[in-house]
A and B are shown apart, each in its own frame.
Chain A
Amino acid sequence: MKEARRPTGRLSIAAAALVIARRDFTAILFSRTFFFFLLGPLFPVLVAALAGSLGERVQQTAEEPKLGVVMQAEDADAMVRARDRLARDVGDLLPGLVVLKRLEPGETSDPRAAIGAGRANIAAILSGSPARPVLTGPRDQIEKWRSPVALVAAEAVAVRERPLPEIGLSTTVTSNAREREVRLRTAQGAQTLLFLLTMMLAGMVLSNLVEEKGNKIIEVLAAAVPMDSVFFGKLFAMLGISFVGIAAWGAVGAGIWYAAAPALPDIPEPAVGWPMLFALGAIYFAMAYLLLGSVFLAIGSMAATVREVQTLSMPVTMMQLLVFFFASFAMTQPGSLLELSAALFPFSSPFTMLARAAREPTLLPHLLAFVWQSAWVILLVRLGAGLFRKRAMKAGPSGVKSGGRLRSLVRRAS
């Protein structure tokens, strides 16, 4: 055996992580997992489309509420004509009128009785005369129709000679109020997307590690390279996979956007601009995933079975949901102590900072946040690797599976 042909020097943590990451990346990219990952976003879209279509159908089936008219014949006709005339200018503001009864001169009718005996979609009754109209019906309904009915009655009493004045329209892309509102929505959307992606990926990295333990290769890895690099390799492989997935979704999304551009409304730019928001989105997505993924990896490294993993990851998932709500709530109070806390707490920091990017143009806080979050990623990975070495690698073949107190905790919990 020639010495020169032997590898020289140990692999650095980064080089070892690259070996692990390369293997995982290739393996996942050509697996069914990635196929389902790519299809993942289609499911919510499909569900939303189905729900939308069903809702539309339900709405179509439900008839619009109408205002029943019980008046002298001539007054009723005057009201209907006035409503039709006005409808050309004010449209949907006016309730549809249905003449229920044309009263003979001197004849009276109880509108309360009419509302009960009328058609199913009659929501209130209009009685009296155009000069003194009376609305009968549930309070909220008659309050809603009070002004439109007054307008119609006024039109019926004094037929307009002139049409309503023409209003000149001059549109602007946005206004301060609209910009603020849309940026808030952009921030909310970005946070939600970030959260969903993070949860999906962290779950995947967890399954990947459990599978690895099932394959019993973890001890070979632990003997050859530092556990930190195993953790980093796994995390970054999945991150790479997610970027491939996001690139694929992005390409499809961009195609749809491009095709539908003329029909889309103008959306005000986020505070840092779209390109920077996308860049920061990618960074904060990476950080959010790395933070949560490192926690999930630590759990996965100590759990032996899928059941144990599920039992242990459930509280973490719930906690992450709370963190997401925390970040969402903090977003509504810009500049507050709450927002600062959400930006400092490592698990909510990426969500809070991404929302901030949609609202505030300054970039320096993002640089600080990036450094802060990176430090936490390194710390968590180290902690996870340390825990793995300390608790998971026990003696004997079954030792690799064992997690000591963790296992007993799981047994108690499940």
Chain B
Amino acid sequence: MAGNDKASAACAPEQGRLAIEARGLVKRFDGVTAVDGVDLSVPEGAVYGILGPNGAGKTTTLRMLLGIIDPDTGYRRILGAERPQDVAHAVGYLPEERGLYPAMKATEAIAFLGALRGLPLHEGRRRARELLEQHGLGYAADRQIRQLSKGMAQQVQILGTLVHKPRLVIFDEPFSGLDALNQGKLERMMRALAAEGTTVIFSTHVIAHAERLCDEVAIIAGGRVPFAGPVDVARDRIPAQVRLETRAAEGPWRAALPADARREGNIWLFPLPDTGIEPLLRALIEGEAGILSLSIERAGLHDAFVAIAGEAAARALAEETPEEIR
């Protein structure tokens, strides 16, 4: 992931202030534990990803954070409030299952979603037109939702989530159902929101989205969060990989390679030694290995996910991820 490409580059999270703080959230349904002691700390202004396969507990966690359901045990504080409904006017939410009233016009639908968050209807209508124009949907302002394509209706709902200018936006699987073009648009929108200081939380089972967008992630599997923190810290859980290509196949330099180095033809792969690359480089030169190429590759979020959540969770995640995104 190119770090300079991240939303956080434009707007660093405010030090010490948390948009969301959750401790020990537990939720059971009919004796089955859906969420088992989730802790989250989402800094204000961050783009925060909740990453995990389907059934991991992402949606239940988000619903608890939003106050749609109450945790059986645990504690959550949203924008400083212990009752999520107290800050509903400052929160935007896009559920995984999108839905709007089919007979409503696009403008009215957006204004209605704003009105639910306390925005006066007339102001909501004005902003709705503005937003639709900004996002190239001005021509659909007076069309009924049932007359729009699925993608367009989804965009209308996203605009409805943002019309009241929330301080915190929660998206549940926002990219599902969107084509590549609209996924790109949504990513840009999320970055723009973060750049304005809005905290963006989204759940996803697609690592690539989290890797491109997030400052921090919570990896969730089986209702638990084995890791929550900056993406870089997650990646640092796995040592960087060295990829070495040599002209000579054998020589005294071989003794300098770590014992667990794997060989693929003339290419050697091994974790970066704790001593760093310099001693190894010296040994290769002195041993006349004939270095053709040498690169140090930092672990990706996928590798970090495998290491943190385990092979099974990673396999489930991979099965749910569309081929073109993998």
Q: Do A and B come from one complex?
A: yes
A residues near B (Cβ < 8 Å) are 1, 5-11, 15-16, 19, 23, 27, 31, 215-226, 389-390, 393-397, 399-400, 404-405
Residues of A with C-beta under 8 A to B198: 1
Q: Are A225 and B116 in contact (CB under 8 A)?
A: yes
Within the assembled complex, what's the spacing in Å between the Cα atoms of A389 and B84?
14
Within the assembled complex, what's the spacing in Å between the Cα atoms of A405 and B29?
11
Other contacts beyond A31-B103, A220-B95: 15, CB < 8 A: A7-B90, A7-B114, A8-B89, A9-B89, A10-B118, A19-B115, A215-B99, A220-B93, A222-B68, A223-B88, A224-B88, A393-B68, A394-B34, A395-B34, A399-B60
Given A223-B95, A395-B57; A27-B101 close (CB under 8 Å): yes
Does any Cβ of A come within 8 Å of B125's Cβ?
Answer: no
Chain B residue with Cβ nearest A8: B89
Q: Are B103 and A27 in contact (CB under 8 A)?
A: yes
Residues of B with C-beta under 8 A to A7: 89-90, 114, 117-119, 164
Does any Cβ of A come within 8 Å of B290's Cβ?
Answer: no
Nearest Cβ distance between residue B249 and chain A, in whole angstroms?
54
Nearest Cβ distance between residue A319 and chain B, in whole angstroms?
27
Given A11-B88, A393-B68; A16-B116 close (CB under 8 Å): yes
Within the assembled complex, what's the spacing in Å between the Cα atoms of A216 and B102?
11
Q: Are B118 and A11 in contact (CB under 8 A)?
A: yes
Q: Are A404 and B101 in contact (CB under 8 A)?
A: no
Contact with B118, one of A9, A27, A217, A219 (Cβ below 8 angstroms)? A9
- What is the 8 Å Cβ interface bit string for chain B, positions 58-80, against chain A (1 contact, 0 not)? 01100100111110000000000
Does any Cβ of A come within 8 Å of B324's Cβ?
Answer: no
Does any Cβ of A come within 8 Å of B86's Cβ?
Answer: yes
Nearest Cβ distance between residue B192 and chain A, in whole angstroms?
10
- Tell which of B96, B104, B115 has the most Cβ of chain A within 10 Å: B115
Does any Cβ of A come within 8 Å of B202's Cβ?
Answer: no
- Tell which of A216, A220, A223, A404 has the most Cβ of chain B within 10 Å: A223
Residues of A with C-beta under 8 A to B57: 395
Residues of A with C-beta under 8 A to B103: 27, 31
> For this complex, into which size category does the number of interface residues on chain B fall?
35 or more
- Tell which of A5, A6, A226 has the most Cβ of chain B within 10 Å: A6
Given A10-B87, A222-B68, A389-B70; A216-B30 close (CB under 8 Å): no
User: Sorted from nearest, which 8 A-B pairs have the closest CB atoms?
Assistant: A216-B99, A7-B118, A224-B116, A395-B60, A217-B99, A219-B95, A223-B93, A7-B89
Nearest Cβ distance between residue B199 and chain A, in whole angstroms?
12
Can you sample 12 A-B contacts with CB below 8 Å?
A: A10-B85, A11-B89, A217-B101, A220-B93, A223-B66, A223-B68, A224-B88, A389-B70, A390-B69, A393-B69, A395-B63, A396-B55
Does any Cβ of A come within 8 Å of B143's Cβ?
Answer: no
Within the assembled complex, what's the spacing in Å between the Cα atoms of A5 and B114?
12
Q: Are B87 and A397 in contact (CB under 8 A)?
A: no
B residues near A (Cβ < 8 Å) are 27, 29-30, 34-35, 54-55, 57, 59-60, 63, 66-70, 85-91, 93, 95-104, 112-119, 164-167, 196-198
Q: Are B88 and A6 in contact (CB under 8 A)?
A: no
Nearest Cβ distance between residue A159 and chain B, in whole angstroms?
83
Given A31-B103, A215-B99, A405-B30; A224-B93 close (CB under 8 Å): yes
Nearest Cβ distance between residue B100 and chain A, in whole angstroms?
6
Nearest Cβ distance between residue A7 and chain B, in whole angstroms?
4
Residues of B with C-beta under 8 A to A215: 99-102
Q: Are A19 and B116 in contact (CB under 8 A)?
A: yes
Given A6-B89, A220-B113; A23-B101 close (CB under 8 Å): yes
Q: Are A404 and B89 in contact (CB under 8 A)?
A: no
Q: Are B54 and A396 in contact (CB under 8 A)?
A: yes
Nearest Cβ distance between residue A226 and chain B, in whole angstroms?
6
Chain A residue with Cβ nearest B112: A23
Residues of B with C-beta under 8 A to A9: 89, 118
Within the assembled complex, what's the spacing in Å between the Cα atoms of A1 and B67?
26
Q: Are B119 and A389 in contact (CB under 8 A)?
A: no
Q: Are B30 and A404 in contact (CB under 8 A)?
A: yes
Residues of B with C-beta under 8 A to A224: 88, 93, 113, 116-117
Within the assembled complex, what's the spacing in Å between the Cα atoms of A204 and B226?
48
Chain A residue with Cβ nearest B96: A397
Chain B residue with Cβ nearest A217: B99
Residues of A with C-beta under 8 A to B63: 223, 393, 395
Nearest Cβ distance between residue A297 and chain B, in whole angstroms?
17
Chain A residue with Cβ nearest B124: A7
Residues of B with C-beta under 8 A to A397: 59, 96-97
Within the assembled complex, what's the spacing in Å between the Cα atoms of A215 and B68?
18
Nearest Cβ distance between residue A301 and chain B, in whole angstroms?
13
Q: Are B88 and A395 in contact (CB under 8 A)?
A: no
Residues of A with C-beta under 8 A to B30: 404-405
Q: Are A400 and B89 in contact (CB under 8 A)?
A: no
Residues of A with C-beta under 8 A to B89: 6-11
Within the assembled complex, what's the spacing in Å between the Cα atoms of A328 and B117?
46
Residues of A with C-beta under 8 A to B100: 215, 217
Q: Are B101 and A6 in contact (CB under 8 A)?
A: no
Within the assembled complex, what's the spacing in Å between the Cα atoms of A394 and B63?
9
Q: Are A220 and B116 in contact (CB under 8 A)?
A: yes
Contact with A6, one of B90, B112, B116 (Cβ below 8 angstroms)? B90
Within the assembled complex, what's the spacing in Å between the Cα atoms of A182 and B98?
57
Chain B residue with Cβ nearest A23: B112
Nearest Cβ distance between residue A31 and chain B, in whole angstroms?
7
Q: Are A399 and B59 in contact (CB under 8 A)?
A: yes
Chain A residue with Cβ nearest B69: A393
Nearest Cβ distance between residue B68 and chain A, in whole angstroms?
5
Nearest Cβ distance between residue B90 and chain A, in whole angstroms?
7
Nearest Cβ distance between residue A228 and chain B, in whole angstroms?
11
Q: Are A6 and B164 in contact (CB under 8 A)?
A: yes
